[in-house]
C-alpha cells in the first residue's frame, strides 16, 4: 500500500524542460539541495523530449549530464495540483500523492500550443504540430504518411523537418504569417548567426517541401479520421489529401501554477524582476511563462532563476544579463512575426465545436459577452482541460479575458484532494539525479 | 525482439516499441481514444497531457491520459466505443 | 409626485430574482431586474441544483412541496440545457437509528401526499450498487429532481423579457428604499416596489436583515455514466443543516445528466472568503468516501465554493419589509433556493398584488423576525 511521501528541498524547480533543467543545475552547483519535478516520465519538457528511439541534441545531453553531476533529485511522473500551505506543493502520481516543501521555488512550467477551431478540427489525426511530433517521438509510425503542417510559428518548420527525417511526406507547410513578415524575420536572424545556421539546416532538411505563407487551414475532412484538408492558399481554397494535419498556432504560456500561487501577471506573462523573481518573494519564474522566446531564452532565464533562488549568487546571475537581453530581442521578433491574422477569427462555422471537452459549438458561445457568462451558461471551460484549449481560442475569437484559477490546477483523483492516506516522514534519498 | 511491449486495446493484441505511450498503441490499433459528449470520435490533440482528448481506460482506471502513460506488458486498454 | 417607472424593480438576477421577474411579468407588472454581475453568478451558479422536498418543519415542507409541483408543471417548457432530471432522492440510512428515521419520514410524507418508497438494505444495494456494504436501507423520494441552475435562471429571465421585463447587467445597487433604487453611477430608478433578491448579499441592500453566509464546497468529477442513479443524501444531512454553530459536512452526491458526479456537502459559519478550505474539503470528501468508496479514485475536475443565505430559523424571508413599505424581501433560502424559487415568486407577487397565496405564508414573512419566537 503506497503512502504519501514528503520531499524537502532548498530549491524546488517545477518543470523539467530546458528552463527548469538549467535552473536546477545552477542552483545545485551552488551547493544547495535541489529537486526538479515534472509530470512526464522523463525530463526534457517538449523541446528536449526524449522519445522511444530518440537521442538528445548535444546541448540537451550536456545539460542532462550536469544535472546528474550536480546531484539534483528528479521527481518524475508527478503532477502538481495544489498548494497545501505556503512553502508546500502537492503533487499526484499514478498511485500516490507527494508533498514537496521548499524554501525557494522556480516555476518553469513552459508553454503549450495554441489551438484555433475550424470545421473538422476535432477529427482524429488532426493534432497540434508539437502534438504530432510528441506522438511520433512516443512511437507513432509516420513513415510514408502524408502530413500537412499548418498554423504559425517556428515550431512548424522544426516539426516538418523532424517528421520528414522520419520518413513522412510533407505536401506543404502552411504558415499564416505574410511573406513580408517571414522575410523580415529571416533578415532579423542576422543578429543570431547560430539561428541562421539552424535555418540553413532546416532548409536542407526541408528541401523540396513547399512553404506557403499567407496560408491557413479552412477545414479538415474525413469520416472517422482525417483524409484531406482544405487550405486557403493565395486567397484560393485548395484540397490536399493527407493522413495527418499537424496544426498549431504558436505557443501560449502555462500560467496556472503562477496564478494559483498569487504571482502577478502582466501583458499575459508572469511579471518578474531582473533576477527572475515574481511578485511573490521566494518564487521565481523562468522560460516560456515569462516570455515566449525559445530554448535560448529559456536556458538563460533558467540559469538566472536558479542562481538567484539558491540565494546569494547575484554576481553570477548578472553575468548572464547580456545573453538574456539578446535572447529577449529574439522573443520580440517572434511575437511580431507570428501574430495571428484576423481572417482566422472567421474560420469556425456555427456548428464548429470550440470547447472540445463539453462539445460547445461556436454559435452557442458567440452570444455571450464574457468568459464567465459563457462558462456558466454553456459549460465551456468547465471540462477536464480546465480551459487550456478553449481559453486561448476564445480569447482570440471573442477577446474574452480569462479569470483566476482555483485548485486543483489539474484534475486529480478525489483521494488526492482528501488526503486519504497518512503522510510519512521524508524518506527519499538525495543523490545523483538524472533520467528517471 | 527485446525492445517491444505487448498490450491489448479493446481485446486486440498490439505490439509497440518499448517506450511507446498508450496513445500510440491505440493509434496503431486503429481506434479512437474516446467518444465526445456529442458522439464524435476523438484522438490526441496536444500530445502533452493538457487537452484530455486521449483519455482511455487503462487496467480498469477510467480517464487516464494515454499520451503520458508508457505501455507496460499486459496492459489492458479500453476506449469508448 | 411623478409615476414610478416600474411596478417592481428586483435587485439580483439569481434563480430567485429570475423567478420573481418571470412571475411579475406574467401577471402584468412592469418589472426591471438589476444585477451587478452576470445572471446566476452567486449561489445559483455554485449550488447543487436539487429540487427536493424537505420536512425539517411544516413550513419548510409546505414551501418545498408547493414549489416542487410548480417545477413539475414548468418542466415541459424547460429547454434542454436546463437539464431537468427527475432522478429522485434516496435518503440513506447507515444504521438502525437512521432506519427508524426512514420510517418516520415515510409516514410523514405519506400523510402529506408525497410518494415515497422504503428500501431495505438489499433493494438499496440493487438500486445503488456503489454504496458501500452495510447500509441499513433508505427512503426513495421519486419526485425529487436536479437541474442546471444558471440555465434555469436564464430561461426564466428570457421569458420575463419576452413579456416586457428589463434586465440590466453590470449595474451595482448602492441603496434601496422609499420607492427608489440608487446605483453606483448615481442614477436612480423609481419603483412602486423594490424586491431584494440579493441572496447572501441581501443585508448589504437592506441593513438589519438577519442573513448570514453559510459557505459550502462542491467537487465535480469527470464522466462516470451509470455509477450513480439517484441523488443520495445521508440522514445526518439534517444534523448538518441544523447546526447553527459548528462547521459540518454531510454525504450528498448527485448524478448530472453528463454522467459527472457532484460531491457535497459542507457548511461553515463565519467564513467570508471564497477560497477553497483544504480542511473542509478533506472532511467532506472523506465523508463521501465512507458511503461510496468508489469515489476515491475518480478524477475530480473542479472544486469550488459558494455562499448560502441562511436565516436564524432556516426559513426564507418572503414578503414586505416592515421598516419600509416599498421594500419586499425574497431571500434567505439557504440550501433550498432552486427548489423554492418558483414558490417564492408566486407568494411574492400574491403579496404585492394583495391576492391570497396558495399556502399559508406567515412563517416566511419578514415581519416574523420582529415578533417573539422560539428558534429551533
pLDDT per position as a tens digit, A266-288: 999 999 999 999 999 999 999 99
Q: In terms of DSSP H, where are the helices of A30-166? A: 58-69, 129-137, 154-165
Q: Predicted confidence band at C240 (pLDDT cuts at 50, 70, 90)?
A: low
From its phi and psi, is residue B60 left (phi > 0), alpha (psi between -120 and 50) or beta? Answer: left
- Over residues C194-210, the pLDDT tens digits come to 999 999 999 999 999 99
C333 and C344 Cβ atoms separated by less than 8 Å:
yes
Q: b or e along A171-206 (b: 16 or more beta carbons within 10 Å of the residue's beta carbon)?
A: bbbbbbbeeebbeebeebbeebeebeeebeebeebb
DSSP state of C281: H
Residues from chain C contacting residue B55 (CB–CB below 8 Å): 222
In chain B, residues with a C-beta closer than 8 Å to the C-beta of A356 are 36, 42, 45, 51, 53
C310 bridge partner residues: C212
Could you count the other beta carbons within 10 Å of the beta carbon of residue A346? 10
| Chain B closest-CA separation from residue C297 CA (Å) | 8
3-class secondary-structure state, position C185: coil
Say whether residue A401 is in contact with chain C using an 8 A CB cutoff: no
Residues of C (153-172) whose Cβ lies below 8 Å from A: 154
Q: Collapsing DSSP states into helix, strand and coil, what is residue A221?
A: strand
Q: What is the structure's pLDDT at A1?
A: 36
Question: What are the start-end ranges of the H helices in A8-128?
Answer: 18-29, 58-69
Alpha helices in chain B (DSSP H): 22-28
Domains C6-49+149-209+313-370 and C86-143+212-310 share a fold: no
Given the C-alpha cell 533520467, which residue does it identify? Answer: A435
Q: By the 8 A CB rule, do C351 and C325 touch?
A: no
Decide if pLDDT at A253 tops 50: yes
- Report domain C6-49+149-209+313-370's class: alpha beta
The mean pLDDT value for C295-309 works out to 97
Domain extent for B62: 4-78
Chain centroid to CA A5: 28
Is any Cβ of chain B less than 8 angstroms from the Cβ of A223?
no
**Distance between CA atoms of residues C202 and C210, nearest Å:** 9
Place of cell 416586457: C164
Residues of B in contact with C224 (CB under 8 A): 62
DSSP state of C259: S
A51–B19 C-beta distance less than 8 A? yes
- According to DSSP, the residues that pair with C219 across neighbouring strands are C263, C303
Pairing of strands C89-93, C231-234: parallel
ipTM score for this prediction = 0.97
pLDDT for position A195 = 82
B50 touches chain C (CB under 8 A): no
Indicate the SS3 state at residue B21.
strand
Residue B39 contacts C, CB cutoff 8 Å: no
Percent of chain A scoring above 90 in pLDDT: 83
d(CA A35, CA A23): 10
| CATH topology (fold) of A126-249 | FAD/NAD(P)-binding domain (3.50.50)
d(CA A214, CA C172): 47
Per the CB < 8 A criterion, the answer to whether A381 and A370 are in contact is no
Confidence of residue A226 (pLDDT cuts 50, 70, 90): very high
Closest of C260, C320, C247 to residue C287, by C-alpha: C247
Asked if residues C144 and C53 have their Cβ atoms less than 8 Å apart, the reply is yes
Q: With an 8 Å Cβ cutoff, is C223 touching chain A?
A: no
Residues 13-72 of A with CB under 8 A from C: none
CB A97, CB A4: distance < 8 Å: yes
Optimal mutation site among C130, C258, C298, C299, interface B, most CBs of chain B within 10 A: C299
Contact with chain C for residue A381, Cβ under 8 A:
no
Which residue, A203, A193, A196, is CA-closest to A173? A203
User: Burial code of A230-252, b = ≥16 C-beta within 10 A, e = fewer?
Assistant: bbbbeeeeeebebbbbbbbbbbb
- Rounded distance between C-alpha atoms, residue A305 and residue A70, angstroms: 16
User: What is the Cα–Cα distance from C58 to C55, expressed in whole angstroms?
Assistant: 6
Q: Residue B54 belongs to a domain with what CATH number? A: 3.10.20.740
Q: Do domains A5-112+252-335 and A126-249 have the same CATH topology?
A: yes
C304 φ, ψ (degrees, to nearest 5): -150, 175
In our burial notation (b when 16+ CB lie closer than 10 A, e otherwise), range C281-302 reads bebbbbbbbebbebbbebbbbb
Question: What's the rounded Cα separation, in Å, for the pair C275 and A257?
Answer: 16
Put simply, whether A406 touches C (Cβ < 8 Å) is: yes
- Under CATH, what is the fold of the domain C86-143+212-310? D-Amino Acid Oxidase; Chain A, domain 2 (3.30.9)
| Residues contacting A347, CB < 8 A, separation 6+ | A116, A117, A118, A119, A216, A217, A218
- Mutation target for A interface from C14, C38, C288: give the one with most A CBs within 10 A: C38
User: What's the distance, Cα to Cα, between the start and end of chain A in Å?
Assistant: 22
Strand ranges for chain B from DSSP E? 4-9, 12-17, 34-35, 41-42, 55-58, 61-65, 76-78
Q: What is the pLDDT of residue A401?
A: 85
Q: Where are the alpha helices (DSSP H) in C260-361?
A: 278-291, 337-353
CATH code, A5-112+252-335: 3.50.50.60
| Tens-place pLDDT, residues C163-177 | 999 999 999 999 999
A141, B28: Cβ pair inside 8 Å?
yes
According to DSSP, the residues that pair with C119 across neighbouring strands are C138
Mean pLDDT across C241-265: 87
pLDDT band at residue C370, thresholds of 50, 70 and 90? low
Is residue A221 within 8 Å of A229, Cβ to Cβ? yes
Q: How many residues does chain B have?
A: 81
Residue C136: is its pLDDT beyond 60?
yes
At A28-72, the pLDDT tens digits run 999 999 999 999 988 999 989 875 446 678 899 999 999 999 999
Q: Give which of A117, A338, A19, C276 is closest to B51, Cα–Cα.
A: A117
Domain boundaries, chain A: 5-112+252-335, 126-249, 343-398
Is residue A421's pLDDT more than 60? no
Q: Where are the domains of chain C?
A: 6-49+149-209+313-370, 86-143+212-310
Whether A429 has a pLDDT exceeding 60, the answer reads no
Give how far A20 is from chain C: nearest CA, Å: 27
pTM: 0.93
Amino acid at each position: 500500500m503506497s503512502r504519501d511521501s514528503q520531499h524537502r528541498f532548498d530549491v524546488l524547480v517545477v518543470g523539467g524542460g530546458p528552463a527548469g533543467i538549467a535552473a536546477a543545475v545552477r542552483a545545485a552547483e551552488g551547493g544547495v539541495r535541489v529537486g526538479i519535478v515534472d509530470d512526464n516520465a522523463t525530463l526534457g519538457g517538449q523541446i528536449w523530449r526524449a522519445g522511444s528511439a530518440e537521442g538528445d541534441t548535444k546541448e540537451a545531453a550536456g545539460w542532462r549530464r550536469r544535472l546528474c553531476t550536480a546531484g539534483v533529485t528528479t521527481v518524475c511522473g508527478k503532477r502538481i495540483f495544489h498548494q497545501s500551505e505556503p512553502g508546500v506543493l502537492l503533487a499526484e502520481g499514478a498511485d500516490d500523492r507527494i508533498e514537496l516543501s521548499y524554501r525557494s521555488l522556480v516555476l518553469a512550467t513552459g508553454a503549450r500550443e495554441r489551438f484555433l477551431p475550424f470545421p473538422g478540427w476535432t477529427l482524429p489525426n488532426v493534432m497540434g504540430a508539437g502534438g504530432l511530433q510528441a506522438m511520433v517521438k512516443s512511437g507513432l509510425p509516420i513513415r510514408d504518411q502524408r502530413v500537412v503542417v499548418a498554423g504559425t510559428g517556428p515550431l512548424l518548420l522544426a516539426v516538418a523537418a523532424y517528421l520528414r527525417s522520419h520518413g513522412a511526406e510533407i505536401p506543404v507547410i502552411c504558415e499564416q504569417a505574410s511573406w513580408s513578415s517571414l522575410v523580415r524575420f529571416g533578415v532579423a536572424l542576422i543578429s543570431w548567426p547560430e539561428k541562421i545556421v539552424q535555418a540553413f539546416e532546416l532548409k536542407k532538411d526541408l528541401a523540396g517541401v513547399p512553404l506557403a505563407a499567407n496560408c491557413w487551414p479552412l477545414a479538415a475532412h474525413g469520416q472517422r479520421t482525417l483524409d484531406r484538408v482544405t487550405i486557403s492558399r493565395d486567397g484560393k481554397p485548395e484540397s490536399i489529401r493527407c493522413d495527418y494535419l499537424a496544426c498549431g498556432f504558436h505557443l501560449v504560456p502555462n500560467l496556472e501554477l503562477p496564478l494559483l500561487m498569487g504571482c502577478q501577471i502582466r501583458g499575459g506573462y508572469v511579471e518578474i524582476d531582473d533576477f527572475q523573481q515574481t511578485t511573490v518573494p521566494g518564487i521565481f519564474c523562468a522560460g516560456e511563462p515569462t516570455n515566449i522566446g525559445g530554448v535560448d531564452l529559456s536556458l538563460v532565464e533558467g540559469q538566472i532563476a536558479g542562481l538567484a533562488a539558491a540565494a546569494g549568487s547575484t554576481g553570477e546571475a548578472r553575468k548572464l544579463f547580456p545573453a538574456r537581453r539578446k535572447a529577449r530581442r529574439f522573443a520580440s521578433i517572434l511575437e511580431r512575426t507570428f501574430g495571428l491574422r484576423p481572417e482566422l477569427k472567421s474560420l469556425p462555422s456555427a456548428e464548429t465545436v470550440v470547447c472540445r471537452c463539453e462539445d460547445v459549438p461556436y454559435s452557442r458561445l458567440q452570444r455571450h459577452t464574457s468568459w464567465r457568462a459563457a462558462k456558466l451558461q454553456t459549460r465551456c471551460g468547465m471540462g477536464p482541460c480546465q480551459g487550456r484549449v478553449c481559453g486561448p481560442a476564445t480569447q482570440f475569437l471573442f477577446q474574452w479575458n480569462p479569470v483566476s484559477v482555483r485548485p486543483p490546477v489539474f484534475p486529480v483523483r478525489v483521494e488526492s484532494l482528501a488526503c486519504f492516506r497518512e503522510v510519512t516522514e521524508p524518506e527519499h534519498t538525495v543523490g545523483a539525479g538524472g533520467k528517471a | 525482439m527485446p525492445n517491444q511491449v505487448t498490450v491489448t486495446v479493446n481485446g486486440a493484441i498490439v505490439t509497440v516499441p518499448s517506450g511507446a505511450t498508450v496513445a500510440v498503441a491505440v493509434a496503431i490499433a486503429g481506434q479512437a481514444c474516446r467518444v465526445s459528449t456529442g458522439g464524435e470520435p476523438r484522438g490526441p490533440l496536444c500530445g502533452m497531457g493538457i487537452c484530455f482528448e486521449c483519455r482511455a481506460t487503462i487496467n480498469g482506471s477510467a480517464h487516464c491520459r494515454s499520451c503520458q502513460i508508457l505501455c507496460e506488458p499486459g496492459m489492458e486498454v479500453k476506449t469508448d466505443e | 409626485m411623478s409615476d414610478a417607472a416600474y411596478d417592481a424593480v428586483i435587485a439580483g438576477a439569481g434563480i430567485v430574482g429570475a423567478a420573481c421577474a418571470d412571475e411579475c411579468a406574467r401577471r402584468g407588472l412592469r418589472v426591471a431586474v438589476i444585477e451587478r454581475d452576470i445572471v446566476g453568478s452567486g449561489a445559483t451558479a455554485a449550488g447543487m441544483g436539487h429540487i427536493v422536498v424537505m420536512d425539517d418543519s411544516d413550513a419548510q415542507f409546505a414551501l418545498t412541496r408547493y414549489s416542487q409541483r410548480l417545477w413539475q408543471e414548468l418542466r415541459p417548457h424547460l429547454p434542454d440545457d436546463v437539464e431537468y432530471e427527475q432522478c429522485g432522492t434516496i435518503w440513506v440510512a447507515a444504521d438502525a437509528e437512521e432506519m427508524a428515521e426512514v420510517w418516520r419520514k415515510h409516514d410523514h410524507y405519506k400523510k402529506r401526499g408525497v410518494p415515497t418508497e422504503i428500501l431495505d438494505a438489499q433493494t438499496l444495494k440493487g438500486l445503488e450498487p456503489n454504496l458501500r456494504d452495510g447500509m441499513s436501507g433508505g427512503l426513495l423520494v421519486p419526485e425529487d429532481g436536479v437541474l442546471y441552475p444558471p440555465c434555469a435562471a436564464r430561461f426564466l429571465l428570457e421569458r420575463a423579457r419576452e413579456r416586457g421585463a428589463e434586465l440590466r447587467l453590470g449595474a451595482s445597487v448602492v441603496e434601496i428604499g422609499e420607492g427608489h433604487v440608487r446605483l453606483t453611477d448615481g442614477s436612480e430608478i423609481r419603483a412602486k416596489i423594490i424586491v431584494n433578491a440579493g441572496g447572501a448579499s441581501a443585508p448589504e441592500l437592506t441593513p438589519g436583515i438577519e442573513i448570514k453566509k453559510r459557505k459550502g464546497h462542491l467537487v465535480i468529477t469527470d464522466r462516470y455514466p451509470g455509477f450513480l442513479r439517484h441523488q443520495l443524501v445521508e440522514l445526518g444531512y439534517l444534523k448538518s443543516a441544523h447546526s447553527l454553530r459548528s462547521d459540518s459536512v454531510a454525504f450528498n452526491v448527485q448524478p448530472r445528466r453528463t454522467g459527472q458526479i457532484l460531491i457535497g456537502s459542507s457548511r461553515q459559519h463565519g467564513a467570508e472568503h471564497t477560497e477553497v478550505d483544504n480542511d473542509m474539503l478533506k472532511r467532506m470528501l472523506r465523508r463521501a468516501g465512507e458511503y461510496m468508496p468508489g469515489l476515491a479514485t475518480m478524477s475530480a475536475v473542479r472544486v469550488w465554493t459558494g455562499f448560502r443565505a441562511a436565516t436564524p430559523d432556516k426559513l426564507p424571508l418572503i414578503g414586505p419589509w416592515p421598516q419600509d413599505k416599498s421594500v419586499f424581501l425574497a431571500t434567505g433560502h439557504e440550501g433550498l433556493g432552486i427548489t423554492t424559487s418558483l414558490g417564492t415568486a408566486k407568494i411574492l407577487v400574491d403579496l404585492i398584488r394583495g391576492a391570497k397565496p396558495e399556502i399559508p405564508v406567515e412563517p416566511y414573512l419578514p415581519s416574523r423576525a420582529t415578533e417573539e419566537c422560539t428558534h429551533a
